[in-house]
Chains A and B, each alone.
Chain A
Amino acid sequence: MPATQERATKSPVDDSLFAPLNNKSAEHDAIVRPSVGYWKDAWQRLLKNKLAVSGLIIIVFLTIMAIIGPMLTPYTYSEQTLSNQNAGPSAEHWFGTDNLGRDMFTRTWYGARISLFIGFAAALIEFVIGVLYGGISGYKGGRVDNILMRIVDVLYGLPYLLVVILLMVIMGPGLFTIIVALTLTGWIGMARIVRGQVLQLKTNEYVLASKVLGASTSRIIRKHLLPNTMGPVIVSMTLTVPGAIFAEAFLSFLGLGVSAPVASWGSMANDALGVLNTGYWWRLFFPAFFISLTMLAFNVFGDGLRDALDPKMRR
């Protein structure tokens, strides 16, 4: 403890400065930080994440190629040139040909159509069913919630790929069957997320406050529940896409996917199984590379989205 000093008397400061300061009240309540909307803020944070942005760029590129890729060659996906089997990549066949002489480049991008279509369709259908089911369950609560959730519990116990396989056996292979089979169990995860969010949000003070102020049910759902649920839902949708793409490839690989001449990455990989260790590397490489690249892009983008939408990350 320093010894007692004299009261501070003269300090090297101009006497005139001891005039009262006119404190404006506006200064007190000045907003320290500019207000940035939730979505805009999230978008800005997403753009800072280089990995997520490259994921998005790859997704856009793959989508464009899926649309125009098959048109860039003079071949169709099923056109066989038996004189030109298992030809390596060349100026005529950029990705080579398969054992029936079909152009791998055309088939690869045709496969991209199938994969991306299934991915997006599954995500969209799961979104609709999941949000409705989970939303009703969470918002109604009580007995409705209890019954709906018991159903989900049972469905959740079913091994999902097994169900899909059973369905494929019963309904016969095809694009439509795959989508039905995938969404049959796929919406459960989404419904759980939505229900959890809604249950939690429902009890939040700001929802209560809004109720006390006389807001209608639809306003509460539109203004409070939906926007706050959308973050995790969008992230879940983004991560559903690679899951669905994997499932399609997996089924096609087992021979349960799209039927014969139609190209899919999974069936192309399956075709390559017969020519492993033969030096026809392009047979495996192109479908394998593009499945992996697509899944990678969606995973990375979904992760970035999750970080960007996490309210805890705001500062």
Chain B
Amino acid sequence: MLKYILKRFAWMVLTVWIIITLTFFLMHAIPGDPLDVADVGSSDAASANLAAYYNLDQPLAMQYVTYLKNVVTFDFGPSMTSRSRTVNDMIESGFPASLQLGLATLFFSVISGVVLGVFAALKHNKMIDYLTMILAVIGISIPNFIQSMLFINYIAVNVEFFPIARWGTYRHVILPAIALASGPMAIIARLTRSNMLEVLTQDYIKTAKAKGLSTMKIVVKHALRNALLPVVTIMGALTAAVLTGSFVVERIFAIPGIGQYFVNSISNRDYPMIMATTVIYSTILVVMMFIVDILYGLIDPRIKLHSKED
């Protein structure tokens, strides 16, 4: 098991390094001087100063090494749009809201997706099954930014309980979290359902029935565990969907999160900020995938043996 974790961990570090490197060189491959966009009409001396400020006067290889060092120490340097603030400041101020929204979304989508999927499978070809699957396909089909706008336009405006925008109380979380979660929820529900249906035909379910166990016990102990294995594997991809989805949802609901800064940094060509968000988001994602791998090993004992034999 330890060997398995170490191997996965090394893989994770490698992936993060590749992402950082790719991002760095891609950013520097962009034609044009980033300072042109950031500050139009400054004097030569001033821009030389600025170039030094952002390390742009050094050779590319040096810049890369410096950047790597800084990233390891979690220092993303000053921002290019608001020069007085460092990227770290901006991330710190945006992170709480983004984290709250992201966790609420993941929590909501996993719980409701699994519950809906299990019910649909147990009531296969009955009304609940059809309703759930219709709901799921609708959830997948309406993009999260459309849902967000519809929610604002039709729910937040009419229902006092839901604030239209901004952040602060739990009431602010509900609508954006639903808009973000409905896609992942639908995917989880469909996956859980089809896995449950498959697992319920397995021989070991027959064995469990032959032992005289109750339906509840069979579902929870024997079926669900095995049906959730594939669901665990897509958690990484789902996190990615939630992360990227948060860019637009944060923008529509005017939530002061990292997504906001990211979107702004794109239009402002704030390279340190773009790089920082890319690196942070990729890292979160890769760490999530690492956790998923470990979780998978914990739930499925066959994985452990496999790595032992390696």
A interface residues (Cβ-Cβ under 8 A, vs B) = 153-154, 157-162, 165-167, 169-170, 242, 246, 249-250, 253-256, 269, 272-273, 276-277, 281, 284, 288, 291-293, 295-296, 299-300, 303
Contacts and interface: CB of A to CB of B under 8 A. Distances in A.
Interface of B: 11, 14-15, 18-19, 22-23, 26-27, 29-30, 137-138, 140-143, 145-146, 149-150, 152-153, 157, 164, 240, 243-244, 247-248, 251-252, 263, 266-267, 269, 274, 278, 281-282, 285-286, 289
Contact of B274 (A166, A269, A273, A296): A166
B267 A157 contact: no
Given A165-B266, A300-B137, A246 B149 contact: no
Contacts of A162: 240, 244, 278, 281-282
Contact of B248 (A167, A253, A299): A253
Contacts of A288: 142, 146, 149-150
Contacts, number: 104
Contacts of B150: 284, 288
B243 A295 contact: no
A170 B143 contact: no
Nearest to B150: A288
A273 B281 contact: no
Contact of B141 (A153, A254, A269, A296): A296
B266 A256 contact: yes
B137 A166 contact: no
B26 A170 contact: yes
Contact of B149 (A165, A169, A249, A284): A284
Given A159-B282, A170-B29, A255-B267, A272 B149 contact: yes
A255 B153 CA distance: 21
Contact of B143 (A166, A246, A255, A273): A246
Contacts of A291: 142-143, 146
A170 B266 contact: no
B145 A169 contact: no
Contact of B145 (A160, A165, A269, A295): A269
Given A157-B19, A162-B278, A277-B153, A253 B266 contact: no
Contacts of B247: 254
23 contacts: A157-B282, A158-B19, A158-B282, A161-B240, A162-B282, A166-B26, A169-B274, A170-B26, A170-B27, A170-B29, A242-B141, A250-B244, A254-B247, A254-B248, A272-B149, A277-B152, A281-B153, A284-B153, A292-B141, A292-B143, A296-B141, A299-B137, A303-B137
B151 to A, nearest CB: 10
Contacts of B145: 249-250, 253, 269
Contact of A295 (B26, B142, B153, B267): B142
B141 A169 contact: no
A183 B68 CA distance: 29
Contacts of A272: 149
Nearest to B144: A250
A293 B142 CA distance: 8
B266 A254 contact: yes
Given A166-B26, A276-B152, A292-B146, A160 B240 contact: yes
B181 to A, nearest CB: 16
A154 B289 CA distance: 12
B149 A159 contact: no
Contacts of B14: 154
Nearest to A164: B244
B285 A159 contact: yes
B267 A159 contact: no
A249 B153 contact: no
Contacts of A249: 143, 145
Nearest to B18: A154
Nearest to A51: B137
Given A158-B19, A277-B157, A284-B150, A295 B140 contact: yes
B149 A276 contact: yes
Nearest to B31: A170
A262 B150 CA distance: 24
A253 B144 CA distance: 11
A160 B248 CA distance: 16
A170 B146 contact: no
Task: State the 7 A-B residue pairs at the shortest beta-carbon distance, nearest first.
Answer: A296-B141, A161-B244, A295-B141, A157-B15, A288-B146, A292-B142, A159-B240
A212 to B, nearest CB: 31
B302 to A, nearest CB: 18
